[in-house]
Amino acid sequence: MAKFNTRPISGARDFLPADVLRRQYVIRVVERVYQSYGFEPLDTPTMERLDTLLGKYGEEGDQLIFRVAKRGAKLERALADHPTENSIADAGLRYDLTVPLARVVAEYRHKLPRYFKRYQIAPVFRADRPAKGRYREFYQCDVDIVGSRSPTVEAEVLNAAAQVLQELGFTGAGEAGFRMRLNHRQVLRGLMEVAGVAPHREGDALVAIDK
């Protein structure tokens, strides 16, 4: 009998029962805290239309999207007409949870409250080169408030995140503590402008900073 490789695919991990139970505990804490602040749960498909995902993360980010190929006659037509990785695909695995949120807000804007407070805890996927602490599949715990630009909103999100970490046992600023670092897109755009980065290159620059 031929041997087969039993290791998980590069960039992914198996979670044995003890690990799953720990993760479930963390998720329960996150959900309880976020709900205490009035945030509501949201779930979106693992796959999104490819045109929904492309162009949101810069050129390099687009290359990290796992594409899902077309099927049947659509795939045959695409393969017959100078195929590219985008022309033979019509869907992709979600890269993060922010773009799906934006799509949901656009689709259900007449059904959602004026101030939409949502959280989503789900796996995301990136066709990245695996490295220490960088995986192709990992969980994100997103929390957002849509519909207000008030600084109070930003403070509420930060306070909720800080409370989650405190309830998980991270306190103070020492070895067992945590430090929150602000990442504000408008501040980053201001830095890009001062640094002389052309507007059409901002996305690529932000991806480079993220790495």
pTM confidence score: 0.82
The answer as to whether 190 is a domain residue is yes
The answer as to whether 1 is a domain residue is no
171 and 118 part of one domain: yes
The answer as to whether 3 is a domain residue is no
Task: State the average pLDDT for the chain.
Answer: 91
How many domains, in total, are found in the chain?
Answer: 2
Band the pLDDT of 85: cuts 50, 70, 90: confident
49 and 137 part of one domain: yes
Query: What pLDDT score does 42 carry?
Result: 98
195 and 166 part of one domain: no
154 and 209 part of one domain: no
Decide: 11 and 128 in contact? Cβ < 8 Å: yes
188 and 114 part of one domain: no
The answer as to whether 39 is a domain residue is yes
Q: At what angle do helices 185-194 and 202-210 cross, to 10 degrees?
A: 110
163 and 192 part of one domain: no
133 and 194 part of one domain: no
The answer as to whether 6 is a domain residue is no
116 and 207 part of one domain: no
User: Which one has a higher pLDDT value, 93 or 79?
Assistant: 93
User: Which one has a higher pLDDT value, 59 or 144?
Assistant: 144
Tell me the mean pLDDT in the region 108-121. Answer: 96
Query: What pLDDT score does 173 carry?
Result: 63
Largest CA distance in the chain: 65
d(CA 57, CA 51): 12
The answer as to whether 154 is a domain residue is yes
Q: Which tokens sit at 93?
A: 């695995």
SS (H, E, C) 99-160: HHHHHHHHHCCCCCCCCEEEEEEEEEECCCCCECCECCEEEEEEEEEECCCCHHHHHHHHHH
Model confidence at 184: pLDDT above 80 = no
Tell me the mean pLDDT in the region 115-121. Answer: 97
pLDDT tens sequence across 147-180: 998 889 989 999 999 999 999 998 866 666 788 8
144 and 50 part of one domain: yes
155 and 191 part of one domain: no
Band the pLDDT of 123: cuts 50, 70, 90: very high
99 and 185 part of one domain: no
Tell me the mean pLDDT in the region 104-127. Answer: 96
87 and 187 part of one domain: no
Domain boundaries, position 201: 181-211
Name the percent of the chain lying above pLDDT 70: 96
The answer as to whether 101 is a domain residue is yes
